[in-house]
Structure formats: structure tokens, C-alpha cells
Chain A
């Protein structure tokens, strides 16, 4: 049973979301403030964090950043729609996905399950292939480990899944819509900023500069995985 940590300041919403998610079969811990959320992260060891961005005291964005510093736990932000800048900042800070308030428990549950599947080791091809080497990058699909120049790279679930998806077919161009469906399990018309923000984070972690070697932009079409040579 997945364990969810909810950070939400409004008590009635907090109770309702807890009720809704329990009803969907999750184990739920709900806290009121970002500080509490950070405290509980160790103790609860949640599978997913559902984080409201509008928090009194420490802001949702700060909480998100602090959580990412110590953990790669999947984070789903809850935003008021229209806080466009918050969405972008939240995604760049490391959130894996976001939902817009008000959200049905069913929808939130679907997102939670999708983000959990991102960590799932069993890939569609099923086989357990040997680690692949792309230039300085080694991708171990079986162990879900990535090393760059011998150093392990810690990737959040979306980043990892994005890298695995792209590197599965080097050279093939993926449209943002394809990636939204493959990585985030969103519909065709999901928010492409999810893809762009995730690409940005992934490139940062792989130490890519102006001319990315691994995650390359194909103008007008989308992204493709380079062979590791710039």
C-alpha cells in the first residue's frame, strides 16, 4: 500500500484529500506546514509527497527544494491554476508532476500511480539487458542506475524515466507529446513545460553545456538522445 505524505495548510482540504486518497487505497499522512513536512519525510518515508505550493511560513517551492536535496522521493505539486510562474519554478526545482486545485481524488490517484510506475524497474521490454554505455554515460536499465564519468548520478523518477525512454532509441526524435505520454502518462494535450523543465534538470545533472551531448533539442520537433559525442 503506497504511503503518501500530504502537505496542505487548509484543514478541510487536508482532511478531504486524506479521505479521498484513503478511499483510493493509500496510506496517508497529512501535515499542515512545510516545516512539518520536512520533519516527517524521514519518519514517514513516504512513497510520494503531495505538496501544496501555497503554504504559510516556508513556501512550497522551498519545501520542494529542501526535499530534493536529501531525497529523490516523487513529488506532486498542487497548484492554483494560473500560478504559471510557480508551476515552472516548481518543476525546475524538481517536482515530478503537478495537479491543479480543485482536483478529484481519482485524478490525483492516477497521477500518484503514474509517478510510482516511473520508479518501477520492470520496463516494457521485460528483458534484463547489460548496462549501456553512451560516451561517458553508463545506463543500467536493470539496476536503474546511471553513472557519468564513473560518478553515480542521482535522478528523480521523472528524470530517470525520461533518460531511459530517450536512450532506449538513440537518434530517434520524440515529440514533447510523445514524451508526456511515455514518461508522465499524461494525455496528448498535457503540459509540455513538464518535459522542458525535466530536460533542463536532467541536462544539469549530466553536466551538459551549451551543446548537449545526450539530450539534444530538435527544433520544431522535440528531443532525441545523442550518442554521447557532441
Chain B
């Protein structure tokens, strides 16, 4: 923009300096007029900014410009032609009439001579609406009536001094009239010279017919413009719909695709740019569908593999699990230690395989709810009482019978147990468990007294095996409950989701983590018992 090479370097914004905000404090990303334009355009409502209205406006403007331009030119030429022609013919007729009477007019005519002359002229040109006046000095004669428009002084001077006819257009009371002044001349026989006789004949002709022609022409042009406008609107709408139909189809297809319907395709018609665009959209969609299908297939294979592996692991594990009780006898020394380790490892392996199977079932969509109407507080109380000592968990539950819900009791047990077990692993007892009804949801909150959950871990704690890969790992000695497979919270979240509920984790301001589960209370009757 600033192209002046003689300007001071400080004022010349070089590309290099614009990249250093310290040296140029205000690098404007857009020039002021552009910004103004954007601001104005963005205020215009969308229907007016759309393709259809833009096409419409362009067509109308073009049609108006061309028809008005053509009309104006044609009007000017035609008007001039019409007026010129009628004027010429009037003047010729007048001259003929004047010349016919001129020889009979004496050199110094009396008023009666003048009157006779005008009468003769009128007589020769009846039905023409003519008014004729003859002057000679101060004498005046009129026909058919003494009404005559006063010619301008210039005209009077011209006809008295020159031999040529003079005309003038005047407007009397809104109607256009032609005034013609014609000096009567005589010829001297010797030299054939035309001399002014001093007599001047004036003619006043109304030009209403010509006015009528002009008006008809204007209204014709108006009508033509109107027709052209209508045509332009129709054409614009047709063109717009021709352009907009593919555009709209494309928009619909894009939205469907965004909604996950990858099998959407466009019908390609024609061979213009829009057809080309539709075609490339179809190709993109096909490619995307293929890729997604491939990914799904791979993912399904991965899941299937996990399910198969877990299944295969289960048979040997069943044998090992069945005999762990035999191993748990009191055997002294290293053999006893080894037996204890085998037994513990087997237990943990069996929890892991069971959790893997459970996750596989969620992935395969095979997990089902067996709902029953139960007292939720009773369920939570039983879960906690069957696993932990009273001093480890502080319960704040509604009174019996106060909060009933339609849930899968076994899954609620898993949810509660996992949350409390998790809280006990990461915080000091007692863990606080609260249950209440809030806005149509049963809200279960488990709060621990630990250091809380690191912010960067917070979004991931419901991911599978996430715990194992962070510093916030399972307790080193295995703990007592043994359900630290790394899948506990993931299974919890799946169970909550299966109920149509929500789960989230947060840190308390005073320290410690809060895990919250919300289960909808107004579930429709489906599945469940009976």
C-alpha cells in the first residue's frame, strides 16, 4: 500500500518488521475500508447475502440498465425525427399558402388586405387548427380569432430583417405549440432579387399530435422495461435455482455426512463446475466410507481378539482358581511363600480376565440391564457393609424407602464397590459416600481424603488401564480387595452409561477427589424383571 520509496524507513511497513510485534506495535491485519466492508456485510441478513438474491439483483440491474439505455437512445432519436418532420411539413404548407397570397397583397397593405390574406391562408388550410396573424408595421390581422401567442422579440427582429422563415416552440398552458414567422417577399423583375415587403405572416400550430406520439413512445419504453424486468426476475430465479439446487444438495449431503451417514451420495447431473464438485464430493465420501469401514473392521478384530484371548485364558484359570483353596494351607518356609504368591496372582489374574470379558461385552453391545425396583440406599449400604469395616466408610444415605430406583442391582453394586475401592486405594479412610435425589437423578458421591487427582489425569481416569501408566498407581502390595485391574473405573463408567446416567471426577477445593455418579430416576420400563 505504501509504495512511496522516498518515505522514511520507519513509516514503510516491511514484511520483516510486521513479524516482530515489538517493533511495530499495531500491525493492522485488515485495512480500514475492508474492515468496514466486512462489518457492513456481516450485518446484512443471510437471505440477502445469499446467492439467489445476489443473482436476482444483478439480473434486474442489467435488465434495467439495458432496456432503459436502449429506450432513452431510441426515444431521443425518434422524438427528434417526429418533431422535425411535422415541423418541416407545417412550414412547407405555410410557405406555399403564404406564397399563394403574397402576389395579391399590395406593397402597403391596408388592414383589410392583411385580413384578406390571413383569411386566404386559413381557408386553404382548414381542419389544421391553424391560427394565422399578419403584421405590417403596427397593423395586425388575425384569423380565425384574434387570439394569438405573442412571438418573442428575437423572433420578431429576425423575421423583419431576414428573408428566411423562423420558428419557435412555445408552451402555452401546458400544450406545446409551434410558432412560425414568415416574411412576405416580392421579386423585382430586373434582378430576380427577393425583397422584404414588410408584411410578416405568423402561424401558430398546436403540436398535440406530436406530443401524443412522444408520450406513446415513453409509455412503450416503460412497458418494455417492465416486461424486461419481469423476464429478468424469472431468468434470475431460474438461474439461481439451477445453481442453488446442486449447492443445496451438497449442503444437505455434507450435513448428513457430519451426522455420521457416510453412505450419502449426490446425484450428478450435467457437466458444469457444480457437477464436478458433486462428483468429487461423492469420491471423497466413498473414500471416507471405505477408510472408516476399514478402521471399524480393524477395531472389531482387535476387540474380538481381546474377547477370544480372555475366553481362552479362562479355562486354565478355572483350573487354577478351583485349587487355590488347596494351596492356601499353612505351609512353612519358601514353599508356603511361593504358594501364597501363586494363589494371590491367580486371584488377581482372574479379576483381570473377568474385567476384560466384561469390557468386551460392553464393546460388543452385549451388556444387558436386569432392572429391578430397589431401595438405592439399602443397595449402597449393603455393598459397603459386605466389603469394608464401618470405620473405613462414612455413609450419608436417605432413610429406608425414601429413594427407590429402577436399576440393575448387580451393576449398581459394581459401581459403588469400584468407586469406594478406588477412593480407599488413593486416599486415607474414612471415605465419605453420600446419596441423594437431585433433579430427577439419584446422585451418588464418593469423596476421599487423598491428595486429589492431578489435573492432567482428571480427564483420563475413566479410560482403560490408564491408572497403570501414571504415577498414581495401584498400591504396591496388592491391597486387600484385589480389584485393581486397571479396568475398574472404566467398567464403572460403562455401567453408569448403560443406565443412561453420567459420571465425572473432580477435586474438592479443600483437597481430595470427588467421584460423582448420576442415575436417572424416571427410567422407562424396559427389560428388567417380570
Contacts and interface: CB of A to CB of B under 8 A. Distances in A.
B53 interface: no
A25 to B, nearest CB: 12
Contacts of B386: 187-188
Residue from B372, B373, B378, B383 having most chain A Cβ neighbours under 10 A: B372
Contacts of B317: 102
Nearest to A21: B322
A176 B528 CA distance: 12
A13 B319 contact: yes
B383 A105 contact: no
Nearest to B349: A102
A102 to B, nearest CB: 4
A153 B420 CA distance: 47
Nearest to B383: A189
Interface residues of A, number: 38
Interface stretch (B163-171, B178-186, B323-331, B514-522): B323-331
Given A82-B357, A188-B382, A195 B529 contact: yes
B93 interface: no
Contacts of B366: 82, 84
Nearest to A176: B372
A23 B373 contact: no
Contacts of B373: 220-221
B321 A102 contact: yes
B26 interface: no
Interface in B324-356: 324-326, 350, 353-354
Contacts, number: 110
Interface string B347-383: 0001001100110110000101010111000110011
A100 B404 CA distance: 29
Interface stretch (B146-154, B259-267, B308-316, B433-441): B308-316
A193 B314 contact: no
A13 B323 CA distance: 10
B421 interface: no
B529 A192 contact: yes
Interface string A81-95: 110100000000000
Residue from A23, A193, A195 having most chain B Cβ neighbours under 10 A: A23
B529 A176 contact: yes
B280 to A, nearest CB: 46
B410 interface: yes
A24 to B, nearest CB: 7
Contact of A102 (B318, B406, B413, B530): B318
Interface in A187-223: 187-193, 195-196, 217, 219-221
Interface in B269-318: 311, 314-318
A12 interface: yes
B320 interface: yes
B318 A189 contact: no
A57 to B, nearest CB: 18
Contact of A103 (B322, B360, B370, B383): B322
Contacts of A84: 366, 368
A104 B346 CA distance: 10
B322 A20 contact: yes
Interface of B: 311, 314-326, 350, 353-354, 357-358, 360-361, 366, 368, 370, 372-374, 378-379, 382-383, 386, 404, 406, 409-410, 412-413, 529-530
28 contacts: A12-B316, A13-B318, A13-B322, A16-B319, A16-B323, A17-B318, A17-B319, A17-B322, A19-B323, A20-B323, A23-B325, A80-B311, A80-B314, A80-B357, A102-B317, A102-B350, A103-B318, A105-B325, A108-B322, A187-B386, A188-B409, A189-B383, A191-B410, A192-B372, A193-B370, A193-B529, A219-B530, A221-B373
Given A102-B318, A177-B374, A193-B529, 20 more contacts: A12-B315, A15-B319, A16-B318, A17-B322, A19-B322, A19-B326, A20-B323, A82-B361, A102-B321, A105-B322, A106-B325, A177-B409, A187-B386, A188-B378, A188-B379, A188-B413, A189-B409, A195-B529, A196-B530, A220-B406
Complex A-B, nearest 3 residue pairs according to Cβ-Cβ distance, in ascending order: A189-B413, A102-B321, A16-B319
